[in-house]
Amino acid sequence: MTQAFKRLRGLAGAVMVLAVTSLLIFVLIDAAPGDPAEIMLGTSAQADTLAALRTELGLDRPLMVRYLGWLAGVFTGDLGQSYTYGVPVAGLIGERMLVTLPLTLMATVLAVAVSLPLGVMAAARPGKAGDGLASLFSQVGIAVPNFWIGLLLILGFALNLTWFPVGGFPGWGDGFWAALWSLVLPAIALAIPQAAVLTRVTRAAVIEVTNEDFIRTARAKGLSRRRALWRHTVPNSLLPVVTMLGLQIPFLISGAVLVENVFSLPGIGTLAYQALSQRDLIVVQNVVLLFAVIVLAVNAGTDALYARLDPRLRARK
C-alpha cells in the first residue's frame, strides 16, 4: 500500500469521524424537547407568530436539509443566532474562548512545568525520598476532583489570605495583568490533576529509557549522569508524555467546564452549561461540536508531533 494512499485513507477516516460526530450531535439536539421559537418569544406568544418565526428560522425544513445547512454555516462561520442572547453564536463562542483558551493553556503549561522536573527527578533516583514525594503527589493528584481543589484554593488564598479574587473575570480590556491574575487560581486547580497524571507517565518513561544501551554509550563518552539524563534520556522519554497530553484533552475540557463554574469565569464551559439550563440549544449544539473537534484535532496533532519527537516514526509515515 502506498504512503499517499495511507495518508488519504487517514484523512478520509478523520472526515468520516467528524461527519458522524456532527450528525450525532445534531440529531440528539433536534430530538431534545424545547421549541426554539417558544424559547425566543416566551410561552405567551401567539401561535401564528410562533409559526412565522419557525419558518424564518427554517425549522420547518426536513432534518437532513437543516443538518447540511448547519454544516455549511460551520464552514462559513455562521453558526446561527443564540435563542436567549439574540446575538450570533459564533461571536458568543469567540468571546468566551478568550477566557477558556488562556485558562487551559496556562493550566497545561503549569502542569508540564511541574510534572516534567518532578517525574524526571523521581526516575533519576527511584526509591529515594524524591521518588516517594512524586508518587504521593501523583496518587493524590489523580484522586482529587479539580473543582474541589478550586474551592479549597478560594477558601485559602481568596477568602483567608485575600491574595486573589474569589471569582469572576475583569476582561482583557481592563488591564492584562488583572485579567491574568484572576485566572491563576483556576489554572492551578485545573493543572493539579493533569500534573499528577503526567508526573506518573514521565517517571515511567524516563526509567524505561534510562536502561537503554545508548545511555551507556553517552556515559562512556564522558557525559555526567545529569547531562546524559537531560540530553539523552529525557528527549527520548517525551513520546509517552506527549501521548498522555493528547489523551488528557477530554479531561482538560471537562475540567474547564467545572473550574469555570467554581470561579464564575465567563468561559465556554459556563456558556454551555448556562445554555443548557436556558434551553438555548443552538449554543449547546455548536459548543459541543467545537469541543469534539478540539479533541479530535488534538489527537491528530499528537500523531504529527510523534514524528518530530521520534525520527524512527518518520520513515513509517
Partner 1 sequence: MTRLPKSLIIGAIITAIMVGAALLSRVWTPADPTGMNIVARLKPPGAAGLFGTDQIGRDVLSIIMAGAWTSLGIAVVATVIGGGIGTLLGVTAAAKGGRLERLVMSFNGVLFAFPPILSAILLGALLGPGALTSIIAIGIFMVPVFARVTRAAAIQIWARDYINAARMAGKGDARITMEHVLPNISAQIIVQLAIQTGLGILSEAGLSFLGMGVSPPTPSWGRMLSESQTFLDAAPHLVLAPGLAIAITVLGLNLLGDGLRDLTDPRRGQNG
Partner 2 sequence: MMLEINDLRVAFQRRNHPPTQVIHGLSLSLERGQTLGIVGESGSGKSVMSLATMGLLPATATATGSIMFEGRDILTMPERDLCKLRGNRMGMIFQEPMTALNPAMRVGAQIAEGLILHKGISRAAARTEALHLLEMVQIPRAAERIDSFPHEMSGGQRQRVGIAIALALKPDLLIADEPTTALDVTVQAEVLDILDDLVTDLGISLILISHDLGVIARIADRTLVMYRGDMMEEGPTERVLRQPGHDYTRKLLDAMPRRVRASLGGA
Site membership for partner 1, residue 20 (CB under 8 A): yes
37-96: contacts with partner 1 (CB under 8 A): none
- The binder of 142, among partner 1, partner 2, none, by C-beta within 5 to 8 A per type, is partner 1
CA distances from 292 to 25, 88, 264 (A): 10, 20, 23
- Does residue 219 bind partner 2 (CB under 8 A)? yes
179 touches, from partner 1, partner 2, none (C-beta below 5 to 8 Å by class): none
What is the secondary structure of the chain as a DSSP string? --HHHHHHHHHHHHHHHHHHHHHHHHHHHHHSS--HHHHHH-TTS-HHHHHHHHHHHTTTS-HHHHHHHHHHHHHHT---B-TTT-SBHHHHHHHHHHHHHHHHHHHHHHHHHHHHHHHHHHHHSTTSHHHHHHHHHHHHHHHS-HHHHHHHHIIIIIIIS--S-SS----GGG-HHHHHHHHHHHHHHHHHHHHHHHHHHHHHHHHHHHTSHHHHHHHHTT--HHHHIIIIIHHHHHHHHHHHHHHTHHHHHHHHHHHHHHTT--SHHHHHHHHHHTT-HHHHHHHHHHHHHHHHHHHHHHHHHHHHH-HHHHHH-
Q: Could you say which of 97, 273, 303, 309 contacts partner 1 (CB under 8 A)?
A: 273
Among 100, 134, 288, 306, binds partner 1 (CB under 8 A): 288
Q: Which range touches partner 1 (CB under 8 A), out of 143-151, 172-180, 214-222, 235-243?
A: 143-151
Contact flag: residue 13 with partner 1 (CB under 8 A): yes
Among 143, 213, 277, 304, binds partner 2 (CB under 8 A): 213
Q: Which stretch binds partner 2 (CB under 8 A): 150-158, 249-257, 264-272, 303-311?
A: 303-311
Instruction: Report in angstroms how near the CB of residue 302 gets to partner 2 at its nearest.
Output: 17
Among 7, 128, 216, 317, binds partner 2 (CB under 8 A): 216
Q: What is the contact mask toward partner 1 in residues 225 to 264, using x (rule: CB under 8 A)?
A: -------------------------xx-xx--xx--xx--
Neighbours of 77 (CB within 10 A): 10
Query: Which residue number, 57 or 207, has a Cβ lying nearer to partner 1?
Result: 207
In whole angstroms, how close is the CB of 114 to partner 2 at the nearest point?
24
Pick between residue 218 and residue 287 the one whose CB is nearest to partner 1: 287
Tell me if 1 contacts partner 2 by CB under 8 A: no
State the Cα–Cα distance between residues 68 and 145, nearest whole angstrom.
39
Chain centroid, CA 261 distance in Å: 15
Q: Which does 225 bind (CB under 5 to 8 A by kind): partner 1, partner 2, none?
A: partner 2
Which residue of 49, 139, 224, 254 would you call a contact of partner 2, by CB under 8 A? 224
| Residue 88 DSSP label | B
User: Which CB sits closer to partner 2, 217 or 254?
Assistant: 217
**Binding site residues, partner 2, CB under 8 A:** 212-214, 216-225, 227, 231-232, 235-236, 309-312, 315
